[in-house]
Structure 1
């Protein structure tokens, strides 16, 4: 399957999950749904689909859609100028997500599924299982990552301003400024 075909499949699946979650979107919001693969070329494993409702110098709100077992690679939002790093709250509205942070007790085991060749890029092991109606807040300048459960997930993100181009990823293969088909948009 080509990059364009994978992107279209992920977009279609994300719209189905949004409908199952009873998220009402305008046609322009549906059209703005961005498919992000972090430059890794495996959207089923690593990626997220998102709609950015607002991102200004005071706050950001985004709708995130995860396909089943889809993972956002481990990353952090470092300080930028006077900003101590993006603080974000993730609230699951449908499905389930495993959040992993460096803050809190670090377990030797985890429930998330990772390919053996990718283990070296996932260090945060404080596991926070989130079901619909649950949320967690992650402070700035802290490595963290997410993986959806078997049905996927729909999540709303509320945060301080997103400055995605400054994010740091553990995996050096991650490319920050393209979606699955090279959209040129920034990624979460």
Structure 2
């Protein structure tokens, strides 16, 4: 659960980071900015801010923002019915961005969230600089983290089934509940 004031704060900071990266946002875009705390109630530590630019039945484009040292928890996009799962392309726009995917342990710049060693099992670090991109095939377990400047990135994907995402951390709740706002989940 996240407090309404903190939700507004992280969304506003994310809008500022997007605009500082050189992307133009409309008033409508700014209204669509949201945040996910994954039910962990530590949004600035484990969470992500999301602006959905477009979403159809087949493709989606989002801008994802991580505040300085913020981490999106380890997850994967599973098969859903006949769909093999969401395939995703991440393209770094600004800041320090570190992705962790299957492979040899090369973690150097990032860090495991304290006390969560069992929840962050992927340790193959991929440092994305602005303009770099990473393709995540469906079902690929991954997590990502920002460095001291935070990070702004594009996420282009096949069908969005985010509410079906699976997480390594058993305490995660996919829907974010905002305290202080009448029964609205994000």
Q: Same fold (TM over 0.5)?
A: yes
1:179 Cα offset (Å): 5.0
CA contact (8 A) 2:107 2:125 kept: no
Following superposition, the deviation at residue 109 of structure 1 comes to 4.0
SS of equivalent residue, structure 1 residue 49: strand
Unaligned runs of 5+ in 2: none
Shift of 1:111: 2.6
Aligned to 2:120: 122
1:72–1:180: structure 2 CA closer, same or farther, 3 Å change rule? farther
TM-score (norm 1): 0.91
CA contact (8 A) 1:35 1:180 kept: no
Q: List per-residue Cα deviations over 1:23-56 (Å, max 9, x = no partner).
A: 1111011011001111111111111111111222
Question: Per the alignment, in what secondary structure is the counterpart of residue 115 of structure 2?
Answer: helix
Q: Tell whether 2:155 aligns with 1:157.
A: yes
* Count of residue correspondences: 182
**Unpaired segments ≥5 residues, structure 1:** none
Q: CA RMSD in A?
A: 1.6
Normalising to structure 2: TM-score of the pair?
A: 0.92
The within-5 A match list for 1:1-188 is: 3-102=3-102, 105-107=103-105, 109-178=107-176, 180-181=178-179, 183-185=184-186
What displacement does 1:81 show?
1.3
